[in-house]
Structure 1
Amino acid sequence: MNPIDMASFNAEEKEHVVDWNTTALVVIDLQKWIGNGYAPYSAGQVIANSAKLADRFRDQGAFVALVHVSSKDFKDMLHPKLDTAPPALNLVEGWDEFVPEIGRTETDHIVAKKQWGAFHGTDLDLQLRRRNIDTIVLCGIASGIGVDTTAREAFQHGYNIIFAIDAMTGFTQPEHEHVRNVIFPRIGRIRTTEEILA
């Protein structure tokens, strides 16, 4: 290599993570039923970082999809037979409304789901494809349930995935670490909120 090539080779260039024209932000289940007891990040940390991402995406005119679980009578929800009963839902008044910190706007696309993943039975894939979006940034709660299931669906639909790893959290640290270390690297890229926004 000549000196110019070597200098270029050694130059540290910041990764360009997001193309605002072809990348969407998909925020999973940041709604009022969120309680406490998440790990490794608190619900407050996840909400704050997700709000930063949403604000930047909106400022850039990029697509923001806010996903939540919603039902009028729960008859349209899954009721499988399980070995372990699921945790009780925190059905406070307005449980299916988005947390105010996320700053829902008229330009956000709202996805109401009835299961863990945001693609099945919704128009999310249709709306992304109509906008020629090929990459999604994922954040929200919980890492090993709604985020992981949506990520696997997105992967099977052919999308590039970027995991905003400090804008998501698990019900337990082992749950979060399992998907972070085993699943996510096999289907996408893991970045921090600041790396995505840089």
Structure 2
Amino acid sequence: MQFDANTALIPIDVQQAFDHAPWPPRNNPDMERNGLRLLEAWRASGRPLIHVNHASVVPGSTLAATHPGHAFRPGYEPRTGEPLVTKSVNAAFIGTDLDLRLRRLGVTSVVLFGISTDMCVSTTARVAANLGYRTIVVGDACFTFDQPDADGRPIPADTMHRAHLATLRAEFAEVVDTDGLLAALGPRELRATG
């Protein structure tokens, strides 16, 4: 796995909303820790970083801009000078200037992580690939939720997570883990996470 200066990290919807009802049980309790490791190393590398958050227009949503859940999880707030793209649908490229920002930066590859694996991360990855970006998803820095199937039978979050990462790997993205990505970034960035 190789990364150059034209690779951007895009954390997606790492917000407090998902800790509020009515969100069902989730998987991957290591998501937050892994994501913070990625952020720290990426900042040390000097590569582009664009944050994405969700401002829902659905009445009563925990992701609405006026709900406390709209806030970033601790440690995920953009720092001074780090751009933020706000979306209201699943794909971070739809109705936003994300593609324009990336093109102006000369970005050719994107690294995605966040919430949730099967919704906003997956949808953004699919659009990124269709737009011609080399797309990498950090699977162990994402999580998702239990979901009912069409007959109302529960599908565990971990099954949803694994199935969606498998689909992304088959057609749209490289799927990697945090340790592998950090190793590919190189010694300077690894020191930053020690």
TM-score, normalising length from structure 2?
A: 0.79
Shift of 1:135: 0.5
**Could you tell me which residue of structure 2 aligns to residue 190 of structure 1?**
175
How many angstroms apart in 1 are the aligned matches of 2:50 and 2:93? 12
Q: Distance in 2 between matches of 1:119 and 1:90?
A: 22
Give 4+ residue runs of structure 1 displaced > 6 Å after superposition.
none
Following TM superposition, by how much is the alpha carbon of 1:150 offset from its aligned partner in structure 2, in angstroms? 0.2
Match of 2:62 among 80, 87, 90: 90
Shift of residue 107, structure 1, vs aligned partner? 2.7
Rg larger for: 1
* Match of residue 31, structure 1, among 6, 10, 15: 15
**Equivalent residues of 2:93, 2:127 under 8 A apart:** yes
How far residue 48 of structure 1 moved from its aligned partner, in angstroms, is 1.4
The 5 A counterparts of 1:9-20 are 15=1, 17-19=2-4
1:99 is aligned to 2:73: yes
Partners of 1:52 and 1:29 lie apart in 2 by 17
Asked if the contact 1:18/1:196 (under 8 Å) is kept, the reply is no
Corresponding position of 2:116: 142
Q: What is the deviation of 1:174?
A: 2.2
Q: Which residue of 2 aligns with 1:4?
A: none
Shift of 1:93: 4.7
Q: What is the match of residue 130 of structure 1?
A: 104
Query: Does structure 1 conserve the Cα–Cα contact (< 8 Å) formed by 2:35 and 2:141?
Result: yes
Give the distance between the partners of 2:104 and 2:169, measured in 1 at CA: 26
How much has 1:50 moved relative to structure 2?
1.1
Does the CA contact (< 8 Å) of 2:117 and 2:143 recur in 1?
A: yes
Which ranges in structure 2 are unaligned for 5 or more consecutive residues? Answer: 146-156, 184-194
3-state SS, counterpart of residue 140 of structure 1: strand
Residue of structure 2 equivalent to 1:47:
32
Residues 107 and 58 (structure 1), Cα distance of their counterparts in 2 relative to 1, 3 Å cut: farther
TM-score by length of 1: 0.77
How far does residue 103 in structure 1 lie from its aligned partner after superposition?
4.5
Given the alignment of the two structures, is residue 22 of structure 1 paired with residue 10 of structure 2, yes or no?
no
Secondary structure at the counterpart of residue 100 of structure 2: helix
